[in-house]
Amino acid sequence: MTVDRAYLGVDLGTSALKVVAVGPDGAVHATARRGYPTHHPEPLAAEQNPQDWWDALEVALGEVAEAVAPSRWAGIGLSAMLPTLVALDGAGHPTGPAVTWEDGRAEPDAARLRDALGDEHLYQVTGQRVDGRYLIPMHRRLERLGRGGVLAAAAKDVLFARLTGELLTDPSTAAGTGVFNLDDGAWDAEMVAVSAVPGLPAVAPASTSAPLSSDWRAAFGLSGTVPVVLGAADSVLGALGIGANRHGDVAVIAGTSAVVMGICDTAVRDPQHRYLVTPLAGPGWGLEMDILAVGAAFGGIARLVGLPGPTELLTAAADVPHHCAPIFLPYLTPGEQGALWDPDLTGTLHGLDLSMHAGHVGRALLTGVVVELRRAVAIAEAATERRGPVLLGGGAAAHPLLWQDLADATGREVLVDRVSRDHSAIGAALFAANSLGQEIVHRPQFHRMTPRGAQADWWAATADRHDALRVAVGKVGP
């Protein structure tokens, strides 16, 4: 079907760059995806080459252009993984590889920053639990190595600069630095000074736009301008793309990691610091908990047990009753940033015996992931004092076993988008359209999963067993 005009959403994700084209009717008229590698040159390292991003961007835009002519592009919106650091030199070029959010090498730098500013002060000002996966600790580590450059930028900041020639950041992305003042909507002068970061991009509203640069227009034969909207973090726009936009809505976007995002009218802090407070692209706030290893865990364990991928692992798991599986603490990144915030948590498989096979391990891993999702959903519900369905999407949410487990564990209906997987890219396109004066209604094609009440007690007891094992394992050592 020919579309008169379309809004593109670009999502620079952990494993791939995705582009979608959304028409005024809210339908997705084209999609493209191009992957790139993550390099692990030493323990805890996770780096990517920004040139791989730009190569993927060019190819993916070209594929979308074959389905929706560039002359019909009415605007482009942006989303990206967070936090991912790109240190820039005086000419605006990267000083080395990008350091992704999976990198755990900067925890000592984060500890020094927390000691200098105080955990409680950091959380009250920034709404964040700052560990070594935040941009400022990452940058402090590069500074010690002589590779800090003159400016610390996030992945989406450099994506916007690549397309427009302007370097800006939005509030949700700025929150991922660890020095952004939520209430003031600006960099916190005290924290910036203590962190000794040499430079940060200017903060602008997520709806800010700039024209697509002449190089890109020439590459796609465009005679007129195409506005590029600054956009927001992938968690924020993923929630928007699946339809979580009202107070009390809860979205779970399961990709390499899984984001649990509760939508809230106010920036309410948690006395126990169990969630992050993230500015949304428009009005409101996200109460965010990030389960670090979900799609990455399914893929990694599938390889470990000799299966082709996550689908085969979960299919094997479907044949194993819950009570027959061992216990799997799913902190495989390592560390956790969900409702449990602890960089020292590691994965543990307990109760394995020789009668078990790959399906038992898969079932145990899925149960462990769902226990953490259950914990996060309950905390979002308590904070917003609303209880509705869980909106589930993302590339790692494709298996029905996860759908039913999540419904049973939370005791809530789960609405699964069975058609779209690129919700952050869709959210970026929808937000761009809205920012440019075109309101588009996108209606995900939901499949409804109803909780089985008889399973509630089992899940509560299982969560207790997981917590008991986590505490016991944490006591092991010198």
Q: Name the one residue in this structure whose structure tokens are 């009753």.
A: 321
**What is the reported pLDDT for 419?**
86
3-state secondary structure 33-84: EEECCCECCCCCCCEECHHHHHHHHHHHHHHHHHHCCHHHEEEEEEEECCCC
- Mean residue pLDDT across the chain: 95
pTM to 2 decimal places: 0.93
Give the CA distances from residue 350 to residues 114, 218, 374, 384, in Å, rounded to whole numbers and listed in that order: 33, 58, 21, 35
Structure tokens at 451: 């909780």
Measured on CA atoms in the order 370, 371, 372, 376, is the torsion positive or negative? positive
17 has which bridge partners?
Answer: 12, 34
Q: Is the pLDDT of residue 476 over 60?
A: no
pLDDT of residue 420: 87
Give the pLDDT confidence score for residue 375 in this predicted structure.
97
Whether residue 17 is predicted with pLDDT greater than 50 in this model: the reply is yes
pLDDT of residue 378: 97
Q: Report, in angstroms and rounded to the nearest whole number, the Rg of the chain calculated over CA atoms.
A: 21
Q: Which two tokens stand for residue 47?
A: 């780096």
Phi/psi class of residue 76: alpha, beta or left (left: φ > 0; alpha: ψ in -120 to 50)?
beta
pLDDT at 3 over 80: no
Tokens 């005679």 sit on residue:
223
Tell me phi and psi for residue 125, to 5 degrees. Answer: -80, -45
How far is 118 from 134, CA to CA, in rounded Å? Answer: 16
DSSP state of 24: T
Q: Is the pLDDT of residue 367 over 50?
A: yes
Tell me the pLDDT band of 2, cut-offs 50, 70 and 90.
Answer: low
Q: Cβ(271)–Cβ(243) under 8 Å?
A: no
75 - beta bridge partners?
7
Q: Mind listing the pLDDT tens digit for each residue in 257-311?
A: 999 999 999 999 999 999 999 999 999 999 999 999 999 999 999 999 999 999 9
CB 246 within 8 A of CB 384: no
Residue 475: predicted pLDDT? 60
Closest residue by Cα to residue 462 from 346, 332, 373: 373
* Position 57 confidence tier, pLDDT thresholds 50, 70, 90: very high
Asked if pLDDT for residue 173 goes beyond 90, the answer is yes
Structural domains in the chain? 6-235 (3.30.420.40), 244-474 (3.30.420.40)
pLDDT per residue over 330-349, tens digit each?
A: 999 878 988 998 888 999 99
In this structure, are strands 209-211 and 202-203 parallel, antiparallel, or unpaired? unpaired
Q: Mean of the pLDDT values across residues 92-114?
A: 95
